[in-house]
Each structure stands twice: as structure tokens, then as C-alpha cells.
Amino acid sequence: MTKEQIAAQFKTLQDTITQTIETTDGNAKFTEDIWDRDGGGGGRSRVIANGQFIEKGGVNFSAVHGCLPSKIKTKLKVNCDEFFATGVSLIMHPENPHIPIVHMNVRYFELKDGTYWFGGGIDLTPIYIDKKEAADFHRALKLICDKHHPEFYPKFKTWADDYFYLSHRDETRGVGGIFFDHLNESKGLSKDELFNFVIEIGQLFAPLYSEIMKKKAETPYSVQEKDWQLHRRGRYVEFNLLQDNGTRFGIDTNGRAESILVSMPPEVKWTYQYEIRDNSTEANTINLLKKNINWLQYL
């Protein structure tokens, strides 16, 4: 499978996701910016805002190429200068605090010398953790992982716990999911088999998240619950700006800042020493923002 074929399928994936989200939301439509990158390549950024369910969401496709900056070469421990990278990344910030934030990305990276790898992941960031919802989410991921390799789910689930972790807060970003990087034929699967796994993860997103939205869309919420949502969105911003490798890679390769930072929520709060009452629903969520929870036990 060539890099052009992979990019074409990622482009189709973006179309499928945006169409499904528009249909589920019912009110808002995505707007699109087509952009070119100085140095080579470009992409399509699609943003939805002020919908029935989605307050702000972005689904980006990019296929970029050119000269790899020295600091990226050092970080990736590669010597080749010319690179190609393509992928789809998305973020959804819902209006209702009972609908979780969700992030997903699938990507492919190739060097001129033939070195390549896949990466990606999907994770759920509830404002209020619903154990059964988290269990259903992880079960869906496990089914796809197990279909392709028995080690994928336990390895990639642990990787997500470790990656989506705010070390300065000593808490996970949410209930996790899966995360993987530098996935290539050394893992025992062919390039086509690896791509099939990656694209199936991408295709899982739209039906899985649409079902979550529909289940929680009519759940009433209070002023306090909305305030807590804005506070928790602050943690999301902290992770993306302080720790996320994808954000850093995009900026360091002269990516389009508007597209990279579309992941930022529309409204957010940082409250100094936010007071959380003992035994409250907020406290219950904080107590579950831990690594190594077996969410499948709540099925």
C-alpha cells in the first residue's frame, strides 16, 4: 500500500466522520478550510460549532511532506531529511456536561529511505465518569484490537493510560482508551494488515460516539455541572499545550496553527483551588482518574 493510497483512505474517513456527526447533531454543519503548507502538502480542516449536541468540534485531514527539522530528526532518532505524514485527527467538545469529550487520531509517517510507521489512538474524557459507558467504550476498542493481535489491547490500553496522563496534576485525562505509535512490520503484521487495523479504529469512532451522544443528549444539567465542565476543560487544555506530542510535532514542522489548535474548547475556566465536596459526583470522578483501571469489570 502506497502513501498516496493511505492518504486517500484517510480523506474518505474524514468525509464519513463529518457526515455522521452532522446527521447525529441535526442542527450544525461543518465549515471547511483547504490549506497549503509552506514546504509541501496541505490539508482540509473542518469545524462544527454551536450545534444541538456539539458546542465545538474539529475533524482535520492532512498530507504533508518536505524537509524534516533537525530537532524532529533528533527526537525521532532518524537520519533521513525528507518525510511524508498523513492522518486524520479530531476532537469533540459537547454542550451537555454529561456527554464526554472525545479525541481520536490515526496517522502514517514515512521517510524517503523507506522507514515508516503508523500511530494513533482514541480516548474518552468524561466530565462525569459513567462506569458502564467507559466499559462499553473499552469493549468496542478491545474487539477491534483482539481481531488483529492479542497483545494490542492490553499494550495499547496501558500506553494510553501512561500517555494521556497529566503528571503535574497526578491524574489521567479521562477514562483512557488506546494509544499506539511506531507501529510497523517489526510487530509481526504486514503493512496492509497494520493499515486495516488503523482504519478500523478510525471507522469505529463515528458510530460509537454518535451512540453516546444520543443516549446522553436529553440528560438535564445544572449550573454547577456546567461550571464543572468548564473547569475540567481546563485540564484538557493543559495536556494539549504542555504534554501532547502531536501538538508539538505540528508546530515544529510549521503546521497550520489554526488547525493544530482547533482542539481547544470554546469556553474554559481555571479556578484557583476549585473546591470539591467530599462524596460529591465531582469527587467520584476525580477518584477514578487513575491509571490501570480495568474498565471492563463494569460491563
**Structural contact between residues 110 and 1, judged by C-beta atoms closer than 8 angstroms:** no
Distance CA 124, CA 122 (A): 7
Q: What is the pLDDT of residue 162?
A: 97
Q: What is the pLDDT of residue 117?
A: 94
Q: What is the pLDDT of residue 186?
A: 67
Question: How many CA atoms lie less than 13 Å away from 94 in the CB half-sphere?
Answer: 27
Q: Which residues are catalytic?
A: 103
Give mean pLDDT in consecutive 10-residue pieces for the chain, a chain of 299 residues: 96 98 96 92 96 96 87 70 92 97 96 92 98 98 97 97 96 97 86 97 97 95 97 94 83 79 91 93 96 97
Q: What is the pLDDT of residue 79?
A: 67
> pTM of the prediction?
0.93
**Structural contact between residues 44 and 30, judged by C-beta atoms closer than 8 angstroms:** no
Q: What is the pLDDT of residue 80?
A: 67
Q: What is the pLDDT of residue 102?
A: 98
Length of the chain, please? 299
Strands 165-166, 116-125: pairing is: unpaired
**Structural contact between residues 282 and 228, judged by C-beta atoms closer than 8 angstroms:** yes
Closest CA to 106 of 4, 207, 14: 14
**CATH architecture, range 3-298:** 3-Layer(aba) Sandwich (3.40)
**Structural contact between residues 77 and 69, judged by C-beta atoms closer than 8 angstroms:** no
Q: Where are the domains positioned within the chain?
A: 3-298
Q: What is the pLDDT of residue 43?
A: 95
**Structural contact between residues 100 and 127, judged by C-beta atoms closer than 8 angstroms:** yes
